[in-house]
Chains A and B, each alone.
Chain A
Amino acid sequence: MTTIEITYREAMRAAIRDALLRDDRVFLMGEDVGRYGGCFAVSLGLLEEFGPERIRDTPLSESAFVGAGIGAALGGKRPIVEIMTVNFSLLALDQILNNAATLLHMSGGQFNVPLVIRMTTGAGRQLAAQHSHSLEGWYAHIPGIRIVAPATLEDAQGMLWTALRDPDPVLIFEHGSLYQMKGTLDNGEIRPVDIDRAAVRRPGRDVTVITYGGTLGTCLRAAEELASDGVDVEVVDLRTLRPLDDATVLDSVTRTHRAVIVDEGWRSGSLSAEISARIIEQAFYDLDAPVERVCSAEVPMPYAKHLEDAAIPQPADVVSAVRRVVGDGS
């Protein structure tokens, strides 16, 4: 088997193409996904290959096209709906929360909604306070939907097909800074991956750093730096934000006895708060230090580069937090 060099964007595109080829019920719709090739160029070239029936440009109305996607799913299709950014998804929150997440329950199990919604999340590209927030933690609050956050090329390529096979709504959060990430993958058939389990991306003995999506790389860089100081960091990638895989997290924390949670969302009421609570609930007696969190500053995301950098978790922030939990008491 040969390998190819590929970007996160190309891996995602390959996953959509693969799904369109595998199952003719699958179609992609969203703003600018067709002729423009997607606002992050994920769907570039797909209109030419699959035609306007399956690569559909929509009006600028998130509520309308997400609602249409729900209807199509109920009608037997397998729609992939793309929303430009998580900030805009709030216009469709009514459809997602009140319809997609609830119809199975409210129909007494008669109507499931096999819908996949992809959207971009996160900061780091100077897109300011209306395009840069990390609100996946909000969605992870909602019962009835599954939330995944591919942070690697394998997950970018493998999660979509598994999500499409899920009988219920799945939201895929793609961190905007990842699209340019480059790496190698096996050149061959697309391999679907599970969307249930967290993954240990780097084994270590001294401390567990728990993260997902865009900050996985931040944490791995911090771990490298700490390794040169003799601190052995284990990095856990949550992958699925709802339902959370407690077992993998707790297994790691009960081995290392220390936990740092890195979450680009705001700290108050965040996913990091939920994970911290679960660790306290289930592994209190195994902790050797208070749980630490590294989150975004609680401000609307700044435009200026140095302010944006200061607002979001950086490797140095993770390094300091780890040093606090394993550190010398200073």
Chain B
Amino acid sequence: MAADTFEFTMPSLGADMDEGKLVEWLVKPGDEVAKGDIVAVVETAKSTIEVECFHPGVVDKLIVEPGTTVPVGAPLATMSSGRATEPSRPAAVPAESTPATPAPGPVAGDRPPVAGPLIRRLASQLGVDLSAVHGTGHDGAITRADVRRAASRQPEPAPGPQPPPPPAGVRISPFAQQLADKLGVDLATVTGTGRAGAIRAEDVRAAAERKPTEPAAAAERAEPTEQPAPVSRKEAATDRNEAMRQVTARLMARSKREIPHYYLRTTVDVTDTLAWVRERNRELPITERILPAGLFLRATALAATEVPALNGYWQDDAFVPSPTVNLGLPVSLRGGGLITPAIADAAQLDLADLAVKMRDLATRAKAGRLRGSELTGATITVTNLGELGVELVYGVIYPPQVALVGIGKIVERPWAVDGELRVRSIVTITLSADHRATDGATGARFLSALSRALNQPERM
């Protein structure tokens, strides 16, 4: 039986991802992979992600070498779906004798993005680096729309003592472009010596050779196993922060450009709920304690189930509801930056499970050990700035989601209860919602459901 072959491609780990760097292979040719197995580690502008393969099969060939950055959708490896279709090896040959890693060499499937001269001209006019553009046209060709979209996401040039970005309209030969992609050379660092300052192949090669002597660039390219000098690591972290800043900038700018936000807020007395949690926590193992953050997640999941119009995506001018509630959980990284993993099907997790899941995700997010599937698919996001002392959050929606819940600080306030003035624990919860998808009345029902759930912890 002939095995069907298929390609394992660079996954899109979020709406803001155009490309990713393959950091490490966790499989080798000949390995059998089950659905959901982690096969590679990929670095995005935001984080290092463990990427799963969602089709069972056998790894045929690793196309992309570690350290290579490729656009989303580029093939990383070829796999065959048939099991045990390889002719069995002679018994005398131990499996270990087969080469574990492919010989280094030119990367086979590493095609440059396909872009015609008009597209290149447009890109150069708009100052768009085509190597960073994901083509949506035929055979992955880059269309004018792709270039315009990329242009609208262009970050402002970073101020400060950074080398200046290449001037708009920089010329580069097609072969040099291809070589730069292959060698991982950032064209902003290349000085063209061709006619009218055009970048040619030898300029790219020279830049590639110069690289190891430049600390920042070297750290960027360093093998994961190497111990980079402390200075380099720090500069690499700075690069990472800048990249993450740019990614967040693009996504949030898109949100505010495209999404007509409306904001609602409600104030909830959580005194009794917190007392209930304290009691329960006395009985729970220390690692399973319920945090207030977990309460808010659970309440949001319940509210989103009750009001599904806020749970899903705005796509192609229409709302597409999601059958499951996948909670986006923004996690601030130590040293700066933000990453937003998702808790899949959160409505099916009870308070205790949700607390465990949240703790696990947040811990791994900070350690840079998230899986690819955990970064995508959020259908509604809960942002909790209360811990930082903020009483009220007016959040920005993550496109293409249509709602974001903001949790403020739990504060003690004088509060009227049953006609008497008492000191109560109060939290202000906001809803940022996409007015294209819903109206204020829907948002109001959602906040009301959320408050109700918070006040009935025993039913969570």
Contact = CB atoms under 8 A, between A and B. Distances in A.
Nearest to B204: A288
Contacts, number: 35
Contacts of A284: 174
A288 B175 contact: yes
A288 B195 contact: no
A106 to B, nearest CB: 39
A189 interface: no
B193 A329 contact: yes
Interface residues of B, number: 16
A257 B201 contact: yes
Interface in B129-178: 173-178
Interface residues of A, number: 10
Given A257-B175, A257-B201, A285 B194 contact: no
B175 A285 contact: yes
Interface in B295-350: none
A286 B173 CA distance: 9
Contacts of B21: none
Q: Count chain A CB atoms within 10 A of each CB in B173, B192, B197 and give the residue with the most.
A: B173
Interface string A284-295: 111111000000
A285 B196 CA distance: 20
Contacts of A329: 192-198
A284 B177 CA distance: 11
A287 B174 contact: yes
Interface in A87-125: none
B200 interface: yes
A17 interface: no
A288 B193 contact: no
Given A329-B193, A329-B194, A285 B112 contact: yes
B181 to A, nearest CB: 10
Interface in A281-308: 284-289
Nearest to B179: A288
Interface string B196-208: 1110110000000
Nearest to B114: A285
Interface in A255-287: 257, 284-287
B195 A324 contact: yes
A172 B200 CA distance: 40
B200 A289 contact: yes
B193 A286 contact: no
Nearest to B199: A288
Interface of A: 257, 284-289, 324, 328-329
10 contacts: A257-B173, A257-B175, A285-B174, A287-B174, A288-B176, A288-B200, A289-B194, A289-B200, A329-B194, A329-B196
